[in-house]
Amino acid sequence: MIQRLAQNTLYRLAKGFPVLCLTGPRQSGKTTLVRMAYPNMPYLSLEDPDIAMFARQDPRGLLDTYREGLILDEAQYVPEIFPYLKAAVDSDIRPGRFIVTGSQQFGLLERVTESLAGRAAFVRLLPFSVKELMQAGITLSNPFETIVKGFYPALYSREVTPEDWYTNYLASYVERDVRSVLNVKDLAAFQIFVKMCAARIGQLLNLSALARDCGISHNTAKEWLSVLESSGIVYLLRPYYRNFGKRLVKSPKLYFVDTGLASRILGIKNAEQLFLHPARGGLFESFVISEMLKHWYNQGSKADIYFWRDNIGTEIDVVFEEGMKLRALEIKSGKTFSADFTSNLEAWIRYSGSSPEDCALIYAGDREFEYKGIAIRRWNNPEIAQ
């Protein structure tokens, strides 16, 4: 069993909040994590129709039966239970009594925010991180093989190929979940939309052009993208707005949370195909940005990361604030370091007044060193996000 870094975060938050809310994409390991972290706590899955029916018919009775503690898995299937959960918590404020998990973050967060404001702590769980895999003794030696395989737990615990697993994941979860939220009638149009999103990985999002290429309205594209984002399938990296004497872009950049899923959508089956694919750079960026998300989410924190780009095309892939410092990261998918890899970082240093020590370059190679005071990091450094 691979230890999840978020487990200690759950223990920490359980000391101060009566409800812990664990969200994230389907199959990211939420159920396994809570059952491993709390092996003696009663567990009920509201995806089970019999249990869901009982929870709807007698929510107060269910919570009274498990007044000492309960794990409620896939709680978004019975939203009626949340007001009763609030009442149970208000009558007994003991911390750490209830663990609530949900895959459709959009619906779950809406219910929890309405009913359990101030009573619940949130942790978002994404698939495995590089650090978790390496701590478990799993060797990651080829960046492109790793990107194509992806990071969902099932791929590391079952005898299944990424192509087979992601094909079924798309049909069983992504399409089903989105249809259940949006009532999508034209599945073919939605499938085209997802493929068009993958084709734009790492690019500035032009929602009007995306909608036009898919043959759907701007509002439909906006709604579909919102649900893909809230369900943990895609991530929109927003621009950093501090002005350093240049006009800045305002559009976000589009990434996928899991590169294995994006590779499957793009028809990339192995490392050789990825190496020659025009989306290689975007997928590699997506991998690094996802690792950064996992780093903060596993600590129960918000991922305040951005990108910076001026109107003449100078771009920094990731910018984030760390105390009083402004950190900048560049991401390159080449395995061979080149001096021009750091050119945008050097321009950034001039614009922002930052120092080289606050900058780093992450690339697909396996050596680590400094160049002009800038840290050059290998792709599989377990502290890649720091």
- The yes-or-no verdict on residue 221 having pLDDT over 80 is yes
**Residue positions counted in the chain:** 386
Q: Which residue has the tokens 């959009």?
A: 106
Res 198: pLDDT = 97
Res 241: pLDDT = 77
* Higher per-residue pLDDT: 363 or 245: 363
Res 43: pLDDT = 97
Phi, psi (5° rounding) for residue 207?
-65, -35
Res 385: pLDDT = 66
Helical segments of the chain, H only: 6-14, 30-37, 49-57, 59-65, 81-91, 105-115, 130-135, 143-149, 162-169, 175-182, 187-199, 207-214, 218-230, 259-265, 271-276, 280-297, 343-352
Lowest average pLDDT, out of 55-64, 79-88, 185-194, 269-278, goes to 185-194
Query: pLDDT (tens digit, 9 = 90+) per residue, 262-292?
Result: 999 999 999 999 999 999 999 999 999 999 9
Q: How many CA atoms lie within 13 A of 97 on its CB side?
A: 19
Res 314: pLDDT = 84
Would you tell me the crossing angle of helices 105-115 and 218-230 to the nearest 10 degrees?
A: 70
Q: What is the mean pLDDT of residues 214-227?
A: 91
* Higher per-residue pLDDT: 45 or 75: 45
Tokens, residue 169: 């994941």
Q: For the chain, state the CA radius of gyration.
A: 22
Rounded CA gap, 131 and 295, in Å? Answer: 9
- The yes-or-no verdict on residue 137 having pLDDT over 60 is yes
Q: What is the mean pLDDT of residues 79-106?
A: 88
User: For all residues of the chain together, what is the average pLDDT?
Assistant: 91
- The yes-or-no verdict on residue 351 having pLDDT over 70 is yes
Tokens, residue 13: 């938050």
* Homologous superfamily in CATH for domain 6-124: P-loop containing nucleotide triphosphate hydrolases (3.40.50.300)
Res 171: pLDDT = 85
Degrees to nearest 5, angle at CA 162 with 33 and 130: 50
Res 16: pLDDT = 95
pLDDT tier at 243, thresholds 50, 70, 90: low
Res 106: pLDDT = 56
Tokens, residue 191: 């499938």
- Cβ burial 110-142 (10 Å sphere, 16+ → b, else e): ebbeebbeebbbbbbbbbbbbbbbeeeeeeeeb
Q: What is the mean pLDDT of residues 122-145?
A: 96
Rounded CA gap, 290 and 284, in Å? Answer: 10
Contact 362, 333 (CB under 8 A): no
Res 359: pLDDT = 96
- Domain positions in the chain are 6-124, 139-285
Query: Whose CA is closest to 34, among 47, 49, 44?
Result: 44
Q: What is the mean pLDDT of residues 348-362?
A: 92
Query: pLDDT (tens digit, 9 = 90+) per residue, 248-265?
Result: 678 999 999 999 999 999
Rounded CA gap, 36 and 256, in Å? Answer: 28
Query: Whose CA is closest to 38, among 60, 14, 61?
Result: 14
Rounded CA gap, 220 and 31, in Å? Answer: 32
Query: Whose CA is closest to 282, among 203, 209, 344?
Result: 203
Between the CA of residue 14 and those of 75, 113, 167, what are the distances in Å? Answer: 18, 18, 37
Q: Does domain 139-285 have CATH number 1.10.600.10?
A: no
Query: pLDDT (tens digit, 9 = 90+) per residue, 298-349?
Result: 999 999 999 998 877 789 999 998 888 899 999 999 999 999 999 999 999 9
- The yes-or-no verdict on residue 5 having pLDDT over 70 is yes
Would you tell me the crossing angle of helices 207-214 and 218-230 to the nearest 10 degrees?
A: 110
Tokens, residue 103: 């895959």
Q: Which residue has the tokens 């390991």?
A: 29
Rounded CA gap, 123 and 142, in Å? Answer: 30
